[in-house]
Structure 1
Amino acid sequence: MVSGNRNISTSEATLLSRSGTLARTETTAFQNDTTRRLQLKSVLFQQKLDWYTAKMAIKTSIPPAVLVCAIQSDSWINHFKTNAYLAPIISSCVLPALPRAMLIKHNARLTFAIVLAYCWALLAGWCGVQARQHTTNNVNDLNAYNSSAEAVVAIFLIFFIWSSCTLKSAFPDWGLQCTIAGILAVAVLPGIARAPNTKQVIDQTNIILEAFLVGQAVGLVNALILFPQSCRDVLKKDMGACLDGLAGVTRTQRKCMQAILSRTITGTREMNGNPCANQLEIALQHFVSEVSKTRQSSEYAAREISWGVFDHSQLEDISSLLLDLIPPASGLISVADMLQLSTAAGYNLSNDACGINRPSETDNDSSYDDDWQHLESAMHQHSQKMTEAILEGIEHAKVRLELIKGRSLFSRSRVRKVDVEHRAVAVNPGEAGFLESYRDVFEKGRVLDEESEAISNKKLLDCYIQHRPQVGNLSEYTSEMHSNTLRYFLFLHSQTLLSSLGKELLNLLTFVDDCYSRPKRLLIPPFLHPNYWVKRFVHLGGIQQEGTSQDAEKQTNVELGPAFYSPKNPDHLPPSNLVETIGDYIRKIPSIFRSDHAAFGLRVVCAIMTIDTGFFGHYLPYCFPWLALLDHPPFFY
């Protein structure tokens, strides 16, 4: 009985443990499901609708959908036959998401590539017809299979594929255009290789060309009409992002200087662990990338016909002014790195010298420390003022760029005059007279007290030199004095860089204010003016020689011997006439065939020929069954 009770109690305990385990498992599963649901809800609530992506998706999907519906009609099928599918494919290669100037440039290149491939196909078809006629004795056999014509057209096809792949590798910007040209060649050449005469070659080539051009035209019209984009708007966005990047660099540099002044360095020489240095470097890289994007956008914006203020010369000035901001901004990160290293080195040396008695410490040392602390705080305050002024200047430029959009078409902006009495009052960014207050920050400063009178930068520098850390006797020169001296020069250099950055930004602000005061006008790209083409193509060499002769008269004349005028090896001299220019281009042809890009095209051609040979050997018995009756069939049979 005891053993039986023990068995019953054991089974009950097992059941209870299993039920508890199941209950815990269900509770854990329920908690996991609840957590997943909450995570899914939070992710869904954080999602925002990207209208730009939605518009571009609609814009890109309309032309292929319209053409797919159009090719179902009988008239389209009767005209294009089996080549109708090419139109929807080409309509999606228009790249409708590009801005207007980039879109037109891309499609001009695409049209040029298509026309070039069309001309090559006509040449290949004509050569194939000539080979067919010269290898056929009977006129009735012209429609039969002719291996000579097939071989000639295949050579043209292989050479064109090699050329397109080589150009695609050498010029990545032409990659899509070269691909489309190769598609046209592949679609045209196999068909015209079986054409018995030139008329059929032209007809078959024209049908495929029309399919390509119809698809491109439909896609281009859709891209220009539906949700159009202007490179001017892209330029304004890039300029705003560039100014935001400069503001990010300035704010991050201010954080670094505050951390250095408060001596929050870890005391190590490794800079990878310091977040301030990493953030400043990241902000600088972002600013430099935004400047490069702005320069590229300005080149395309100058090619558009628009109604605005900035013409092509002013856009070039803006690009150069933004580029001038990079050197002083790049110097700030170097100064911050050196300041942090000097602070870390000073901490390490001071910690090492804690247990050493310094007999040279007197009351003069305490006064020396007080003077240096006052000077360091004064320099830091002046740097903070310059930083705040730079940030306000950035906001002023952004406000001016936004106000340009809101002006009426024919109104000239009215700039409110600011009296001299009111210049002392703080002027907000975007108001008239802001440049005066901005200029005063970088032309004047205060010595060691906010209540003192503002003085010029030259007198301020003299004051900094007078209150600089004193070296004294070299035998009493401690590690802390060395660190303070190094910090003094680095703080001074940081102020110099901030002043340089502020002055470069002042040039940009002056230019933006000048453009803001002008009325809008019709801006025509320079290449639409006749003078542009006259200067580009009708710029005779005599005019250049006259200009060079006038410049040469101002310089010292140097007599050269007869060996210079009749050299034995003229490769180092530039071409002087048309024949030598043509000779230079002819000498460059072998280098093209030896390049890596040509090797890439050759590898593509060899891969295509290998695949074609394999398919030819696989399907040959079905096309020519009489080969099996031969005593010695071919090796590929």
Structure 2
Amino acid sequence: MADSSPGHQDDIMPKRANMGGDEGEKHGKPNVSQAPPPQPQPKPGLIKGLVTKLGLDTPTLIAMFKGALAPVVGLAIYQSDAVAQEFSTFGYLVAVIAVLSLSALPRGKFVQTLILNLLFLGIGSAGALLILWSSLQARLHTETVPAAYNSSQSAVSAVWLFANIWIVNTLRAKYPNLNIPSIVYSIMTNILCTFSPQITSNAAFEAIVRRLLTAMLTGFAIATAVCLLVFPVPSRAVSTAQIGGLLRLLQGAVKQEKAYLQSLEREDMFAVPADICAATHLSTDSESASDSSSVDKGSKSKKKHKKHKVQPEPKSTAEAKAIKETMFDLRLLTSKVYVDMPFAKREIAWAKLSSKDLSTILELCRGVVVPVHGIGTVIDIFQRLAEKRGWITDSETPLDVLAEKMDDKRVWNEVMKQLHEPFEKLSTAISEGLQHAGMLLEILPRPKPPKNNKNNTDGSPALGDVESRGGLIQPGDPGFEEVLKKKIQCFRDIRSSILHTWAKEKGLLTSGSSLERVNSISFPMAARHHRDQEQLYVLLYIETLMEAAGDGVLRFVQFADSKVADGTMSSKRLMVPKPKVLRKWIASIFSDEDKSQENDADLFERGMAIIYMGDSFASKRDPEHLPPTNAWQRAGNALRAVSKFFSSEESAFGFRCACATLTIGIVAFLENTHVFFQEQRLVWAMVIIAIGMTQTSGQSIFGFLCRVLGTLVAVVLTLITWYIVDEKVPGIFVFLYLFQALSLYFLLKFPQLTPAVVLCMITQVLIIGYELQVVKIGIAASESTGQPFYPIYELAPYRLAIVAAGCLVAFFWTIFPSPVTERTWLRRDLAVTLYLLANYFSVINGTLKSKLNGTGGDRNIKGTPAHQLAKHRTRLFGKLMLLLPSLKQHADFQKWEPTVGGKFPRDLYEDIILRASRINSYLTLLSYTIGGGGKGTTGMTLTDSLDAASKSALPSRCDGANARAWRDALAVLLADISPTQHSIISTLTLLSNALQSGHSIPPHLKVPRPYELTRQLETLCAGIPSVEEEDSSSRSQSESDSSSINNIAPATTKDKHSLLDTRNMTQAGYAEFAVLQVCSTLVCDDLEGLVESVSKLVGVVDFSYCVTSSSASTSGASIPGGGSSSSSSSSNDLEKGKMD
């Protein structure tokens, strides 16, 4: 049902609906080779194929024909004599408001928008009465002889119009969820203020306000009836459909990752695809100069490569490309779920799952999304290794480098062959587990059994017949949880054989030996052994995330089974939101603290996220004033807040809107032109300005072209509607309904075209509505307001000209006197993203410290530090998932901005966006590893297994003594790595401030290096017992309350060995340490690239002292710039930072 929400249109689900797990593997057959060959699917017919290609599924069709119903009903009721007499010449407004209400919205969003619309309509009506009364008083106190025009009345109306448009658009810019209410307010204000100079009595302006208010309320009433009564779409249905799409995407992602890992059994995993080369500037490393002009040298470097006859860069495999696309869709859909979930939790519903259950489901889904997404990062890891080791080969690559690369490739090919069978089984288990949980929670549909035969068409038993299937338990059957546990435990058991293969390939293990008897090699820092250690970390990283994905699915299945067992899924009940939820919603509408799109039911939302960054980013200290200490100083601050408000960017946007409105509105207030204004209906050009004004010039150029084109399409459609049925009213309504539904299709499938589509629908309603009004009440009554009658073939071009004029004025005032470009917003959004990443990393560090120090408490108990940290991590995750797609939207819109001056460094911005997205992914994996897998779960960390060992779903891979040893060792090392942690946070914050302000970064910036945990742990012995003592130590574990940190000492005894000894690589602590090490290394690598890219954008402060020598052996000294910003010093400074 997500397709029924145009504001948050979900195009992923229709496209990915069939991307679920492999149908041949879905029903729990461990031996894939014995599965019957897939039957060839019949080719769909022409009509069915076209419908599928256009995405015309059931939710889309319902939304199209439901959204087109309200405006047609609004025009149809005008054919009644009573309605025509009541509304007179304002009948078309009923249909216009019905279009703006957008009855196709889900119920929760529609009700929120309706409440705000009614609030602003009531305020606008009261304000209109004040405007008309005050302007009339100006007329009465200055009029000597009755006249049709009064300059004082017009001047007062113009001033009121300017002030109202300024204020309402300032609020519109500050609170995006007030977009539609602001347009409704502007329509009422524009119509009444421009009509004000013709009013000569109190009774006249009271009658016109009452008539206008009644018409607009009727439009809202019709839209409300259509939304709530005709195919009602609850917000819960939207969220449920989105979660169902998320589960299908996860099934598809696991299937694609399986195909990719299987392809590595024979292919070169270190081949760097061309698209990755371009994104990370690998092809221009040797020639990327240190100034910003290096962006323009990309094409030159490619030509040079061609001259040297370098072998063509290998293209991404089909599997890798599919994974990248699915990962992007997964992030996008996850952000949409986070946006729409609050609406589902707020609305009154007749349902089975409570709002708390919905939150838990979302957290459990996140517990699967994170490790599955982490497995997809293996592509990036192999490419980083190739770059780091110089394995981007060409025809001139030395033979020893090629031999080294081929040796590692051979090892990885062998390891991937060993990984084939376990991941085959695990991917089947994950897909089946998601299917099972989705069916029990009624998120995914159950397969329909055959009607007359217990067997399927291929001869296999039906799903519901367990006995005929020989006791084979499939998704949806009781007892499936135990089957899933066995499959995951089977994967855990096979892990040791994979490590056995790797150790044998490395010569650490002889044939027939067990891992416990592996040679005691602790990987000294020799280059080869260091690479072997990295290889082991990557292997453990892959295995650990696979296991974590299985555990996350198991928790999801356990939750679904618990809801069936406690009777939650047996019957529906009335779900009423708690007063606390409603209070938070009301407070959040006008609060900066929750300025994200989760409260935004905006019609014109196109993915532009506005995120609350926190007090440290938004409100800066005033260097000229200390905090107030008494009432007088606080009163002075309140006075300063007024000037701050009028100097804000939101107020500047409101001022632009007011100027644009008066550019056309002034015609209504001048004596020589006010009649022309009324006759030519120029008020609708002012309405177009209210709809079409945007804050950035990129949107304005794009919007200007789309709105003019949409109006042109509307003119053509209205002429067809009017003449194709020979001006017969019933036929006109039929074709109007079809064309309105057709317009809604583009709104649903292409949300970026929303303003143009809405304008197209309104133009159709205006033209057809006016002509039907003339047919109903006659030409004389229609001309009573001073507007002459035009036949439709003249009225339609006039409407096109008026809309084009309004769009042109809106475009002019968007770029004049100085444009706020899309590129400026892109830079600011990037600054916000880096700030949120720094905050995210800081919270992760706080979580790690609290866990290792034992001060966090239980994260499932409200009020504990662990619960607060987990809540904060989840909030930051949601904001980042919402903001990152917005960066792509801004990058797309900047293409429409004309470039004046130097070329826009798009490659650098895209590189920063790419690296920020990667850092977010790696930090999410760190957060998952440290903080646990989801709400109400114990997570995948060894510290969680210590805190809640009794709640573990599966047997732990390490006993309490070993886990405590790892925790105590990490606690000792935490103080040693604190400088690196602080450096990462400081660097991200510094880069954020540099992008926000445009100031250069300081020289000699020390780039954070990865955690040196490996070298530190190699010198420690954390009391890991030897193989012979394992049983005795486990028996004596209960005698000691805790493991003391003082037990960690240099490895000198024979009975104890280093934590990183290869004999420990089967322990959970070792594997999770590998995940932390890999993620932190990837974060630091991308952070280094971020520093380089940002320095090319903003430059580096240069205080260097240069000494030059001439040919005459004379020397001169100069200090260039004394603090100037120089991009050319970027590379040198970065290198100095590395050496420091």
Q: TM-score range by the shorter chain?
A: 0.5 to 0.7
Aligned to 2:49: 46
Deviations 1:31-57 (A, max 9, x none): xxxxxxxxxx98656322654444434
What is the aligned counterpart of 2:537 among 471, 474, 489? 489
Aligned to 1:293: 336
What is the aligned counterpart of 1:520 among 563, 571, 579? 571
1:157-556 mapped onto 2 (5 Å cutoff):
157-265=161-269, 267=271, 271=276, 273-275=315-317, 276-339=319-382, 342=385, 377-402=417-442, 427-445=473-491, 454=493, 467=504, 469-470=506-507, 486-517=534-565, 518=567, 519-527=570-578, 529=579
Deviations 1:319-338 (A, max 9, x none): 22223334323322322332
Q: Which amino acid aligns with 1:391?
A: S
Aligned to 2:647: 594
Contact 1:267 1:348 in 2 (8 A): yes
Give 1:99 shift. 1.4
Aligned to 2:662: 609
Give 1:445 shift. 4.3
Q: Which amino acid aligns with 1:101?
A: G
Give 1:606 shift. 2.2
Aligned to 2:67: 60
Give 1:526 shift. 1.9
Give yes or no for the alignment of 1:571 onto 2:627. Answer: yes
Contact 2:194 2:669 in 1 (8 A): no
Deviates further, 104-113 or 501-510: 501-510
Deviations 1:11-37 (A, max 9, x none): xxxxxxxxxxxxxxxxxxxxxxxxxxx
Contact 2:347 2:577 in 1 (8 A): no
Deviations 1:257-315 (A, max 9, x none): 11222234585575462133332222111112122222233221122322322111121
- Give the whole-Å Cα distance in 2 for the aligned partners of 1:57 and 1:375: 52
Contact 1:312 1:525 in 2 (8 A): no
**SS state at 1:208 partner:** helix
Identity over the aligned pairs, expressed in percent? 23
The verdict on how the C-alpha distance between 1:108 and 1:514 changes in structure 2, with shifts beyond 3 A counting, is same
Contact 1:125 1:201 in 2 (8 A): yes
The verdict on how the C-alpha distance between 1:314 and 1:375 changes in structure 2, with shifts beyond 3 A counting, is same
TM-score, normalised to structure 1, is 0.68
**SS state at 1:523 partner:** strand
- Give the whole-Å Cα distance in 1 for the aligned partners of 2:445 and 2:69: 31
Deviations 1:186-212 (A, max 9, x none): 222333454445444333211110111
Give 1:121 shift. 0.6
Q: Which amino acid aligns with 1:610?
A: T
- Give the whole-Å Cα distance in 1 for the aligned partners of 2:563 and 2:87: 54
Contact 1:64 1:92 in 2 (8 A): yes
Deviations 1:396-444 (A, max 9, x none): 22222338989xxxxxxxxx9x9xxxxx976322222222222233345
1:7-22 mapped onto 2 (5 Å cutoff):
none
**SS state at 1:92 partner:** helix
Q: Which amino acid aligns with 1:432?
A: P
**SS state at 1:307 partner:** strand
- Give the whole-Å Cα distance in 2 for the aligned partners of 1:621 and 1:355: 86
**SS state at 1:156 partner:** helix
Give 1:65 shift. 2.8
The verdict on how the C-alpha distance between 1:177 and 1:580 changes in structure 2, with shifts beyond 3 A counting, is farther
**SS state at 1:229 partner:** coil
Aligned to 1:70: 77
Give 1:157 shift. 1.3
Give 1:369 shift. 12
Q: Give RMSD over aligned pairs.
A: 4.5
Aligned to 2:733: none
Contact 2:154 2:670 in 1 (8 A): no
Q: Which amino acid aligns with 1:207?
A: R
Deviations 1:519-566 (A, max 9, x none): 334232324x5x76799999xxxxxxxxxxxxxxxxxxxxxxxxxxxx
The verdict on how the C-alpha distance between 1:131 and 1:97 changes in structure 2, with shifts beyond 3 A counting, is same
What is the aligned counterpart of 2:96 among 77, 89, 112? 89
Question: Which stretches in structure 2 are left out of the alignment for 5+ residues?
Answer: 1-43, 278-314, 447-463, 509-518, 588-623, 677-1140
- Give the whole-Å Cα distance in 1 for the aligned partners of 2:674 and 2:61: 53
Give yes or no for the alignment of 1:122 onto 2:168. Answer: no
Deviates further, 335-344 or 495-504: 335-344
Contact 1:253 1:280 in 2 (8 A): yes
**SS state at 2:346 partner:** coil
- Give the whole-Å Cα distance in 1 for the aligned partners of 2:585 and 2:379: 49
Contact 1:385 1:441 in 2 (8 A): yes
Deviations 1:148-185 (A, max 9, x none): 23322221111112223333333333222211211111
Deviates further, 425-434 or 487-496: 425-434
Give 1:372 shift. 9.0
- Give the whole-Å Cα distance in 2 for the aligned partners of 1:337 and 1:397: 31
Give 1:243 shift. 0.8
The verdict on how the C-alpha distance between 1:244 and 1:587 changes in structure 2, with shifts beyond 3 A counting, is farther
TM-score, normalised to structure 2, is 0.40
Q: Which amino acid aligns with 2:174?
A: A
Q: Which amino acid aligns with 1:47?
A: L
Contact 1:236 1:401 in 2 (8 A): no
Task: Determine which structure has more spread, i.e. the larger CA radius of gyration.
Answer: 1
Contact 1:157 1:186 in 2 (8 A): yes
The verdict on how the C-alpha distance between 1:394 and 1:582 changes in structure 2, with shifts beyond 3 A counting, is farther
Aligned to 2:10: none
